[in-house]
Amino acid sequence: MSNLRLLTAFFLLVALLASTWILAGLRLVDPAPTDRIAYVDDRGVIRTIREDGSGAITVSPDVEGFFTWPTWSSDSRRLAYSGVIGSGEDIRMSLFVSSSNGGNSTEIFAGQAGVTGLLAQGVIHFPLWSPNGNRVAFIATTMSGLTLFLDDLSPDPGAIHLLDNGPLWISWSPDSQYLLAHRADEYFLIDAEGDLAIEPLGIADQESRVPAWSPDGTLFLTAQRAGRGQYHILGSRISGGKAEAPRRLLTTTPVPAYLWSPDGAHLSIAHSSRPFVYRNMRMALYGGFSVYADPESEPIYVVRDPTLAHFWSPDGTKVAYARLAETPGVLRWAVLDVASGERTSLVDFVPSVAQLTMFQFFDQYAYSHSLWSPDSDALVFAGNLNTDAITASLRESGEGPRIDGPAFQHDGAHIIVVNISDEITTQVITEGFMATWSPN
């Protein structure tokens, strides 16, 4: 009987230790940080912080190098980002993925030796997570020019080459099955969950940029020049794994850039673009943008301000847009409320170069880098506030409202949050040149 008791006690002890090990293991896996801002400081260190600037977590590895352009996965658990490692002949430009809690850094792509070209000013790669978070499509510079790859993040290294000889623009279908790519003057549909078949869509246009999936996945949009002063917005559907022939939905002025609202209820189109040089960067200045409840009907709103970019809030109720201010060289954030049509000016600012790049290609970065908070109540951006123009009430931690002081005595850029939930307030939360908010 005593032996039986000893044996029973032994098994109970083993069970207790096993449960303890399991619980310890679970504690090691922290929950994904939510409602956080990923940013890059001037030393090339990537961190995440809370909206008030507290609780910093370092994400990039503690090695000699410069890391930049963090991109959140859809579940906020991981960040993809670029890194420049080494120097001289040993320099390499790599793409990394890390846990957003910090650590577990994995190099998923190493650039070719001697190839140091950029996609845009300061942009080494453009990664775009699939909506289910299982893959990363990314664009990198290779000996073949701008090249599109697909990586499944498995332990077995090696990204799959899809297309090269860019320029390239990409977007994922909401179910993560298809990847749309616009290369030079051709559009392609790629079956990312099948045999990676690359289907030319027979739509030719070189000036328009990013194809756009409707949030329900039933329709995608492309654009094609129809004449000297007109552009057609085309709608296509997927049937039997193939793209149906495109159908004209509406006609607008050249060269349009378009975005669906996240809830799929509206479509916005920036139109009447013309070349514009700002801070030595050549970009498009749009005559404004239109919002459609039905792409085959007249727009419900037309904003006729000269704008560089616009971004939908996650809940689809608002559009934030960066427009020219009256002060030369200064931009202004404004917000359109889609329910009421009310337009509210927020704050005047000068963007960092990285922020300006995001504006320059806003129809692409809208899919990868959210400036909106998950609850659609605040915006984050990088740059500096302008004291000689409209400003929201500035809050600096522990100092109360003010519109002057250390926040404006600077040489570099700052990460700035504008809260628009009740009273419009602005807070400089840290120093840095690029920021993006987590999806949740």
pLDDT in tens, the chain (440 residues): 444 443 334 333 333 333 333 333 322 345 567 899 999 999 999 999 999 999 999 999 999 999 999 999 999 999 999 999 877 777 889 999 999 999 889 999 988 766 778 999 999 999 999 999 999 999 999 989 999 999 999 877 689 999 999 999 999 999 999 999 999 999 999 999 988 999 999 999 999 999 999 999 999 999 999 988 999 999 999 998 899 999 999 999 999 999 999 999 999 999 999 999 998 999 999 999 999 999 999 999 999 999 999 999 999 999 999 999 999 999 999 999 999 999 999 999 999 999 999 999 999 999 999 999 999 999 999 999 986 555 554 444 443 333 333 333 445 799 999 999 989 999 999 999 999 999 99
The pLDDT of residue 90:
76
The pLDDT of residue 168:
98
* Angstrom distance (rounded) from CA 438 to CA 48: 9
The pLDDT of residue 404:
33
CA atoms within 13 A on the CB side of 26: 6
DSSP letter assigned to residue 364: H
The pLDDT of residue 117:
83
Q: Taking the mean position of all CA atoms in its chain, how far away is CA 279?
A: 22
The pLDDT of residue 191:
96
Query: In what helix (H) or strand (E) does residue 401 lie, and over which residues does it extend?
Result: strand 400-401
User: What is the residue extent of each domain of the chain?
Assistant: 256-429
Beta carbons within 10 angstroms of residue 33's beta carbon: 21
The pLDDT of residue 4:
41
The pLDDT of residue 47:
98
Instruction: Work out the burial of residue 425: count CB atoms within 10 Å of its CB; fewer than 13 is exposed, 13-18 middle, 19 or more buried.
Output: middle
What 3-state class would DSSP assign to 360?
A: helix
**186-191/198-204 β-pairing:** antiparallel
What 3-state class would DSSP assign to 7?
A: helix
The token duo for 395 is 């809050």
Question: Tell me, what amino acid is at 425?
Answer: T
The token duo for 165 is 């000889």
